[in-house]
Amino acid sequence: GAGVSQSPSNKVTEKGKDVELRCDPISGHTALYWYRQSLGQGLEFLIYFQGNSAPDKSGLPSDRFSAERTGGSVSTLTIQRTQQEDSAVYLCASSSRGWSYEQYFGPGTRLTVT
Amino acid sequence: SQELEQSPQSLIVQEGKNLTINCTSSKTLYGLYWYKQKYGEGLIFLMMLQKGGEEKSHEKITAKLDEKKQQSSLHITASQPSHAGIYLCGAAGRGGADGLTFGKGTHLIIQP
């Protein structure tokens, strides 16, 4: 079956604009994760959804970041009033149940804030 | 918070040689993942280790978990150009709800 897909693959935006990044997990996977990968920070955990439970937002870097997951499937990560330091590759991953099961990653969205 | 240190940061190996990458955690490991990333691409899952002393192999790649040392090693035998990339170790925290913490990665270059 299809793997994790993300859109857009590349996004260039002006500083101060809002952006939405989309993730389609593997069908049937209940857990969904967002990570950010940048040169200086490596790969950082942002937020985790498990089924219908309230998400774990402990990794979100600021209140400009938010995420939702509709119907337990597709997720969107929204960054408001983007800053240059938000430039990074945003990766989404899903797993069949939770953290103890392997996470399958999407190809990522490369965000560039000018 | 948990930190993972990978060594070496980069590695240049002649094709056909063996190599080892290490991952050491600052805290107790409850699950250790190895991923490979080709430049500019997403992460490819390699192996997951959960029990102390566990060892798993896939083709020419073997990973081991030493729970007492809070350490894992990834060993590649008879390296090939296809092994080139960035190897990342990731660890789950207790309860797992905080996602994976990743090391900075090891850049592996295979010289023909």
A67 forms bridges with which residues in the sheet?
Answer: A77
Contact (CB, 8 A) for A5 and A24: yes
Which residues constitute the domain of residue A59?
A: 5-99
pLDDT at residue B104, as a whole number = 93
The mean pLDDT value for B15-37 works out to: 92
For A99, half-sphere exposure in the C-beta direction (CA atoms, 13 angstrom radius) is: 23
Average pLDDT, chain A: 90
d(CA B90, CA B2): 10
pLDDT at residue A18, as a whole number = 98
Contact (CB, 8 A) for B103 and A37: no
A90 interaction partners in chain B (CB closer than 8 Å):
none
Chain B touched by A21 (CB under 8 Å) = no
pLDDT at residue B76, as a whole number = 97
Q: Tokens 């896939």, residue?
A: B58
Contact (CB, 8 A) for B99 and A93: no
Q: How confident is the model at residue A57 (pLDDT cuts 50, 70, 90)?
A: confident
CB count within 10 Å of CB A90 equals 23
pLDDT at residue B95, as a whole number = 55
Between chains, do B96 and A105 touch, taking CB under 8 Å as contact? Answer: no
Which residue type sits at B58?
Answer: H
Q: How confident is the model at residue A15 (pLDDT cuts 50, 70, 90)?
A: very high
CATH number at residue A61: 2.60.40.10
Chain A touched by B85 (CB under 8 Å) = no
**How many independent structural domains does chain A possess?**
1
pLDDT at residue B98 greater than cutoff 70? no
Q: Is residue A105 part of a domain?
A: no
Q: How confident is the model at residue B42 (pLDDT cuts 50, 70, 90)?
A: confident
Between chains, do B99 and A100 touch, taking CB under 8 Å as contact? Answer: no
Q: Which of B42, B36, B3, B4 is nearest to B23 (CA)?
A: B4
Strand ranges for chain A from DSSP E: 5-7, 10-13, 19-24, 31-38, 42-50, 65-69, 75-79, 88-95, 104-105, 109-113
Q: Is residue A104 part of a domain?
A: no
Among B31, B45, B50, the residue with its CB nearest the CB of A104 is: B45
Closest chain B residue by Cα to residue A108: B42
Q: Is residue A113 part of a domain?
A: no
Average pLDDT, chain B: 90
Residue B18 distance to chain A (closest CA, Å):
26
Query: Residue B95, SS3?
Result: coil
Structure token pair of residue B47: 């192996």
* Position with higher pLDDT, B48 vs B30: B48
Q: How confident is the model at residue A100 (pLDDT cuts 50, 70, 90)?
A: low
Q: How confident is the model at residue A98 (pLDDT cuts 50, 70, 90)?
A: low
* Position with higher pLDDT, B85 vs A42: B85
d(CA B103, CA A78): 26
Q: Is residue A19 part of a domain?
A: yes
Instruction: Give the single-character DSSP code of A99.
Output: T
Structure token pair of residue B51: 């029990």
Between chains, do A45 and B35 touch, taking CB under 8 Å as contact? Answer: no
Q: Is residue A114 part of a domain?
A: no
Q: How confident is the model at residue A71 (pLDDT cuts 50, 70, 90)?
A: confident
Chain B touched by A48 (CB under 8 Å) = yes
